[in-house]
Amino acid sequence: MSEIPLSHILLVSTALFFIGMYGLFTRRNMITMLMSVELILNSVNINFIAFNKYLYPDKLDGVFFTVFIITIAAAEAAVAIAIIINLYRSHQSIDVEDAGEMKF
């Protein structure tokens, strides 16, 4: 893995981040927006692991940050899906345009 420069891994994670951002901008369905957020969090994890491996191989801080991000992502997905199911019960739709009561 030493012949791949760090900037190539950073480019992959940047591309993944902006693909997730594109999904967040264009999708109007709450579940697919949640999937885009997962992609964004994964790109951040790749960055942490790559920095830990290339620049600070004698430390483990990047690993811990990644573990904590994965944990928080799981909690976030669970809470978001609970909210989505509750919204579906009251609006019969999970489109963000249909849930505009709290917009203003």
Partner 1 sequence: MSASSVIFYVISGFILATALLAVTTKKIFRSAIWLLFSLIGVAGLYFWMQMEFIAAVQIIVYVGGIVVLIIFSIFLTQQSGNEMQKPSGIRTIFSILAVCIGFTLTYLLIRPYIFTPSSNTPMEVSVKNIGSQMLSTTEHGYVLPFEVVSILLLAAMIGCIVIAMKIKPEEK
Q: Is the Cβ of residue 32 or residue 100 nearer to partner 1 in the bound state?
A: 32
The H or E element spanning position 78 is helix 61-91
| Residue 104 found at the interface with partner 1 (CB under 8 A) | no
| Residue 36 found at the interface with partner 1 (CB under 8 A) | yes
Q: Quick check: 45 and 68 in contact, CB under 8 A?
A: no
User: Which residue is it, tokens 């594109």?
Assistant: 22
Give the interface with partner 1 as residue ranges (CB under 8 A).
1, 3-12, 14-16, 18-23, 25-29, 31-32, 34-36, 38-39, 42, 45-46, 49-50, 53-61, 63-64, 66-68, 70-79, 81-86, 88-89, 94
